[in-house]
Structure 1
Amino acid sequence: MHPPPMPRPHSDRSSHTVSKWTTPIPQCSLPRFVFGSPRRSLSSRKILIDADSPDTRALSLAEYRLLSARVAVGLQKMGVNPKDRVLCVTSNALCYPALLMGTVMAGCIFASGQPALNQAEFHRLISFSKPSVIFASRATLPVALQAARMANHPDDRIFVFDDDILDGCGEPEGPIQHWQTMVASEWEGSRFWYPTVISSQEYNSTIMLLFTSGTTGEPKGVELSHRNYIAAAMGYIRRISSHPAWKYSPRLGGPENVRVLGSLAINHSVGQRSYCAIFPRMGVPLYLMRRNDFRSICEAVERFQITDAIIRSSVLTSMAKNAPVCRQYDLSCLRRVEACAAPMSQFTKFKLESLGIGYVARAWGLTETGTITGPDPLRPPKSETVGQLNATYEGKVTDSSDPSLTLKTGEVGDIWIRTPGSTRGYWNNPAATEQVMGAGGWISTGDVGYVDDEGNWYIVDRKKDLIKVNGSHVSPVEIESVLLQHPHVCDVGVIGVAVNEDEGPRAYIQTYPKTSVSAEEIHELISEKLPPYKRLSGGISFIEKIPRNASGKVLRSELRQLAISELGDYLGNYHGTMVYNITEKETQPTIWSHINGSEGDILDRYCISELCKGWPVYRDASEWNHYRHLFVDKGAFVFTTWSGGLPIDDFIKTSIKGRANGDHIMHRENGTLVDLNPTTSRAIGKMKATITQRFNWDGGGDWKVVYIKLFYEKDRVTPADGQTVPKFDRAELEKYPKGYQYLAVAQAKLGHPILNDLPTMNNKAFYKLYEAMDAWMEARPVGDLLEIPKEASPRY
């Protein structure tokens, strides 16, 4: 997660923007859009492939169409009527697209539910959609069956749904029949004629119910028609197919060198549209996954030489935080990744691209509209943007208090979208429909953001999630992005709570197992990065797991309920540390940090810690023989602001000379931790210290510059008498990177040459050093740390 950059001063251009891509929208049925006519000869190339069993379970476009037709005939033979609902609740399955398309071929409405629903939620879903037939996976069947019986749904209209039909070995589950018993024969399916050219009324009628994430309340049934589904698909296809790699090959029936990874949940809006319509129409091989953890994704990318993927942002964050593990796989074939379902930090983007991935960019969309924006395939993705409008889409930004007032580019407000791909409304919920539908076909996205002069869109946050602090809006996403920079913070969710008759941010934090972090550390990090009104005045709470829905979005409604139970009628900050134990069955990232290990490891850590502490003690005391003894005989270097990287012996000579000239630096060690890998006999010492440099300023005052380097960097000037504050020339300060400006000016005044490309939090060199640390711990080649890249502008 990461907030977009502050918008530049706006121009006189209106924020009303139309996509630079155009495309016709076929007026036909969805099956005709994907397959063409019922008798059209289709490619035998496998395009839907089971990533777990690629050699035995895969469907060509022709096989996909035939199975869909068999489903349609089966439904009609059961007596299912046009516009009846057919409900499917399952995790990823290769036959899911055929069940969806067969339902539409039969003239029915396909409804999809989340497999993680509990019995009460399942019962509400059945009561709301009133399905004629229910298909449930074996894992969801016990809950589905009880909920269906509560709703008086007959058992003979419930079927076990899985991919065993492809082998003809589907088995019942007690009294519930396998769905292969209702599917028609291949002979019947091959003779079925689905509608192709349809009337305008049918073209705009409901064929699909997609249920929204429900992050703030009850999920709503989003109605989609043939027109909506096709228009959204065409908008996405037009954008990505502008890249030469997606050029259609008549011989193959699709692009020649594109292979897509299907890691998203198939009942997710983006996953369903992509797997059932978009990629099959394009003839692209798609490898459907049942597991979407970062290891499984890396394995699939390497095994199948995946070129393109749409992956949940939360999974990408996990990949970035486990970069050393991901480096064990060859990911260089992965040319393009689009992040979806939640915001993604620029640290995540940079870290993933350092693994060899071509580019990682954000896309943005809604269940109600389909994918709205994405990266231009012919241009490098611009940092922090969610991309440009897909074909068939137009957008505008309006004043939050007056929707009739369209703002200029660069101005932040409510985002509205207009497209033939947007929903017809919410099923049996006219009040909710009226809330999002505006005049002239515009639909409210519920997002706050802006568009720049180049047509790049930026999302600040969900409007309903913004926290109003003393009249100013605070984005939870912005605070979450800062908190995720802490190496021990695994996940986080921020909400607003009552604070002294106002509102303030409250953070819920999940740490990595075997690690701990204090509330004080969190407050210090926020104070360093954000202004006072964005600090966590609502407090901090450490919890075992951040609640997220199946799409990966933070369930802030659950966090608000948790806050009520914790705070009651008063505000009380929770200060404490939670430590988690790892069981043998859990898969966790490699932890080299302190506390854990054998007695021998603990002794090693103590010795290494003493070694680290000797560095400032011996240097400040000018005990150069003892100081030199801390380092290896050859190849040792020391890095400082005034010396850069110097061999240890040259550094000692320079230090002795400086002392003779009256220079005096004091180091105060505040804490030392040791990362230890006994297998490779490698270790890293991490010291928290305060560095004090005394110098004289014009005017006769006696001053100290304090430069504190923690996990991030800052510097400041502290008057020696605590009262008189020196005035620095801003132009002099701006010569140096933020992070050591004051220190650099002070040391330049003492006659030291100052390097201008040292690693800071906003510099690529910072990450180069940490990647080198990862390599050192794993006994991989480190490279030359003296070759710090001179990159003036940050990459992210």
Structure 2
Amino acid sequence: MATVKAKVITGLPLHHAISQEALGVQLYQRLKANYHTESPAMINVVSNETLSFRNLFVMTCKLGEWMRRQGLTQNDVILMCCENVMEYFVPVIAAMYSCIIVANANPAYSERELQHAINLSKPKLIFCSKANYAKFHRIRNYIRVIILDDVYELVKSINIDPLRFIPKHCNVYDQTAVILFSSGTSGLFKAVMLTHQNYNARINQAQDPRLSTTTGDSVILFLPFFHAYGFAIILSDLFHGKCVHFMHKFEISSFLSAIDKHKITMLPVVPPVLIMLSKSALTSKYNLTSVVNILCGAAPLSAETEVAIRKIFPNAIIRQGYGLTEGTFAATLFYAKDLDTKHGSVGTAMPGTEIIVRDPDTGALMGPHQVGEFCIKAQTVMKGYLGNPEATKNTFTDDGFLRSGDMCYYDEDGYIYIVDRLKELIKYKAFQIAPAELEALLVTHPKILDAAVIGKPDDVAGEVPLAFVVPRSEGVTEQEIIKFVKDNAAAYKSLRGGVRFLKSIPKSVSGKILRRELRELIKTQSHL
């Protein structure tokens, strides 16, 4: 569906024009349209609590008015730091009504990391969970901190007619709507500024029928609300009047039970979850036939796992996609017409998107089947890194493409195949080894539950592959694993760095392996 010309992959033209309205104006109009209904906007599938569109509309208008009375205005920042809860998007939407910027922080951040998030975003107000209040109380620097559970009491005295509330307009191209913190897999996180137009473009793509496999998808979400992936899905679903079924966090039996009970049709997931499902006996205890669409992103999915998942969800089409925080998450996806083709690919350029694959050293454009750095130009691409003009400059090419840091290649039809992170490639003598390839191989071993591979410094070879393995049973040995890789991969990919056993592989909330933490193990543990 995309075209390849002069080594540039171009997505289809936009299906319809992108809105030029502020997000708050659009959300107000959409929620107002559902004011007279009690249909659920959000359902907690574990507790069965619900939040209706009517109540969501009333609460956001009241809190929006409360924020204005507190003196918050356009370009001020509120910081969200909470797990997946019903009320999460009440402050988010209320802030957007006045073009107040919403920064989303990981509730698992340490006090040091939270202080860094505060220093970057400079919030006037913080909304957090009870579990995080004590951390903020110690570091808040006189910033008011509100526990999200207290929002209902906070707006109790606000008596307004929500139908007369007036949201604020803005320059959508320049106005920052959301700040997301990069995952920090290669250092302390940066603050990504995404504009109203970035999200308008993302919502436009979500409405494109050429990307859809069904209409009226019923979605279940365990992905963190603060993360680019989860945040974009919920914002889009609420925008389109869809009910969001969600979980506080992933738990396999609750997840499968909710699919069965609520007849969920679409699963936005990450590879670690699919790997877990593919190896679980619980899947046979539930009716999973309602699922017709599985969207997998955030990390590569092996062909072996994909085959296993197709057996568990017999009516589902599995689509891999590729996205990054700096691109409002979505960058590539399969068009509906091309489903069940190009196995192993993460799709091709989204509508209105241009992609190039570039030599990271010389800047030369790569042709089909040549590995280079994935670069993207689209209206979904960020405004920049907050307070870091140097990092922003270094992230863009001279002709305006965002450099992802991910290595890939494309085929003659413009379909993208992710190889690995640019900085994570293992350089063994004259060879480059992709950790993801070895990890995909390792998890096919019947005695291995999960695995990660990094480069271990070596005086002669430069780096040698070292595997960290989570065993399924106690019977597997280091030599057995080394032989397994030797028998199934090129000689230069052998695990010359050895094998180390762990109880779990450290990963970010989006499922990316935190190789930095594994490298620290090499430095700090003498037996490694």
Name the TM-score class by shorter chain: over 0.9
Aligned to 1:480: 439
1:238 pairs, out of 198, 201, 208, with: 208
Deviation of residue 183 (structure 1)? 6.5
Aligned to 2:303: 346
Aligned to 1:143: 135
1:51 pairs, out of 45, 69, 88, with: 45
Q: Distance in 1 between matches of 2:152 and 2:188?
A: 30
Aligned to 1:547: 506
Instruction: For 1:335, give the aligned amino acid.
Output: V
Corresponding position: 1:225 with 2:195? yes
Corresponding position: 1:187 with 2:169? no
2:381 pairs, out of 422, 425, 442, with: 422
1:400 pairs, out of 338, 360, 381, with: 360
1:330 pairs, out of 284, 287, 307, with: 287
Q: Distance in 1 between matches of 2:261 and 2:102?
A: 34
Equivalent residues in 2 for 1:670-709 (5 A)? Answer: none
Corresponding position: 1:456 with 2:415? yes
Aligned to 1:107: 99
Aligned to 1:320: 278
Aligned to 1:127: 119
Aligned to 1:507: 467
Deviation of residue 40 (structure 1)? 5.0
Deviation of residue 179 (structure 1)? 6.0
Aligned to 1:380: 339
Question: Where does the alignment leave 5 or more consecutive residues of structure 1 unmatched?
Answer: 1-10, 163-169, 171-177, 247-254, 575-796
Equivalent residues in 2 for 1:507-586 (5 A)? Answer: 507-512=467-472, 514-566=473-525
1:238-264 residue CA offsets vs partner (Å, 9 max, x unmatched): 156644x31xxxxxxxx3xx3111121
- Distance 1:105-1:477 versus aligned 2 partners, 3 A rule: same
- Distance 1:192-1:412 versus aligned 2 partners, 3 A rule: same
Instruction: For 2:42, give the aligned amino acid.
Output: L
- Which range is displaced more, 16-25 or 133-142? 16-25
Deviation of residue 39 (structure 1)? 6.1
Q: Distance in 2 between matches of 1:215 and 1:224?
A: 20
Aligned to 1:280: 238
Corresponding position: 1:295 with 2:253? yes
Aligned residues: 520
1:671-712 residue CA offsets vs partner (Å, 9 max, x unmatched): xxxxxxxxxxxxxxxxxxxxxxxxxxxxxxxxxxxxxxxxxx
Equivalent residues in 2 for 1:19-98 (5 A)? Answer: 19-23=11-15, 24-36=17-29, 44=37, 45-54=39-48, 56-60=49-53, 62-98=54-90
Deviation of residue 357 (structure 1)? 4.3
Question: Where does the alignment leave 5 or more consecutive residues of structure 2 unmatched?
Answer: none
Matched residues, percent identical?
25
Deviation of residue 410 (structure 1)? 2.2
Corresponding position: 1:206 with 2:193? no
Instruction: For 2:255, give the aligned amino acid.
Output: I
Q: Distance in 1 between matches of 2:57 and 2:9?
A: 38
Residue pair 1:509, 1:540 contacting (<8 A) in 2 also: yes
Q: Which has the higher contact order (CA 8 A, sep 6+)?
A: 2
Deviation of residue 328 (structure 1)? 0.8
Deviation of residue 59 (structure 1)? 2.1
1:74-97 residue CA offsets vs partner (Å, 9 max, x unmatched): 111112232111011001112222
Residue pair 2:468, 2:505 contacting (<8 A) in 1 also: yes
- Distance 1:238-1:316 versus aligned 2 partners, 3 A rule: same
Q: Distance in 2 between matches of 1:12 and 1:190?
A: 49
Residue pair 2:67, 2:95 contacting (<8 A) in 1 also: yes
Q: Distance in 2 between matches of 1:232 and 1:332?
A: 29
Aligned to 1:363: 321
Q: Distance in 2 between matches of 1:280 and 1:30?
A: 12
Q: Distance in 1 between matches of 2:476 and 2:210?
A: 43
Instruction: For 2:488, give the aligned amino acid.
Output: K
Q: What is the Cα-based RMSD across aligned positions, in Å?
A: 2.2
Aligned to 1:751: none
Q: Name the SS of the counterpart of 1:562 in structure 2.
A: helix
Deviation of residue 129 (structure 1)? 1.9
- Distance 1:524-1:104 versus aligned 2 partners, 3 A rule: same
Q: Distance in 1 between matches of 2:100 and 2:499?
A: 49
Instruction: For 2:243, give the aligned amino acid.
Output: P
Deviation of residue 394 (structure 1)? 1.4
Q: Distance in 2 between matches of 1:33 and 1:387?
A: 30
Residue pair 1:235, 1:393 contacting (<8 A) in 2 also: no
Residue pair 2:297, 2:320 contacting (<8 A) in 1 also: yes
Q: Name the SS of the counterpart of 1:264 in structure 2.
A: coil
Residue pair 1:29, 1:203 contacting (<8 A) in 2 also: no
- Distance 1:209-1:546 versus aligned 2 partners, 3 A rule: same
Aligned to 2:351: 391
Deviation of residue 525 (structure 1)? 0.6
Residue pair 2:482, 2:498 contacting (<8 A) in 1 also: no
Residue pair 1:263, 1:289 contacting (<8 A) in 2 also: yes
- Distance 1:43-1:50 versus aligned 2 partners, 3 A rule: farther
- Distance 1:346-1:203 versus aligned 2 partners, 3 A rule: same
Corresponding position: 1:465 with 2:435? no
Corresponding position: 1:497 with 2:456? yes
Residue pair 1:71, 1:183 contacting (<8 A) in 2 also: no
Deviation of residue 272 (structure 1)? 0.5
Q: Distance in 2 between matches of 1:12 and 1:305?
A: 39
Q: Name the SS of the counterpart of 1:187 in structure 2.
A: coil
- Distance 1:180-1:450 versus aligned 2 partners, 3 A rule: farther
Aligned to 1:270: 229
Q: Name the SS of the counterpart of 1:486 in structure 2.
A: coil
TM-score (norm 2): 0.93
- Distance 1:31-1:340 versus aligned 2 partners, 3 A rule: same
- Distance 1:205-1:183 versus aligned 2 partners, 3 A rule: farther
- Which range is displaced more, 65-74 or 425-434? 65-74
Deviation of residue 480 (structure 1)? 0.7
Deviation of residue 58 (structure 1)? 2.4
Corresponding position: 1:305 with 2:263? yes
Residue pair 2:30, 2:239 contacting (<8 A) in 1 also: no
Deviation of residue 42 (structure 1)? 5.4
Corresponding position: 1:431 with 2:423? no
Q: Name the SS of the counterpart of 1:354 in structure 2.
A: helix
- Distance 1:454-1:63 versus aligned 2 partners, 3 A rule: farther
1:491-517 residue CA offsets vs partner (Å, 9 max, x unmatched): 2111112113321111111223x5332
Q: Distance in 2 between matches of 1:284 and 1:41?
A: 11
Residue pair 1:46, 1:59 contacting (<8 A) in 2 also: yes
Residue pair 1:349, 1:361 contacting (<8 A) in 2 also: no
Aligned to 1:153: 142
Deviation of residue 269 (structure 1)? 0.4
Residue pair 2:357, 2:375 contacting (<8 A) in 1 also: yes
Larger Rg: 1
TM-score (norm 1): 0.63
Residue pair 2:428, 2:464 contacting (<8 A) in 1 also: yes
Q: Name the SS of the counterpart of 2:466 in structure 1.
A: strand
Q: Name the SS of the counterpart of 1:125 in structure 2.
A: helix
Residue pair 2:219, 2:267 contacting (<8 A) in 1 also: yes
Instruction: For 2:516, give the aligned amino acid.
Output: S
Residue pair 1:66, 1:186 contacting (<8 A) in 2 also: no
Residue pair 1:239, 1:391 contacting (<8 A) in 2 also: no
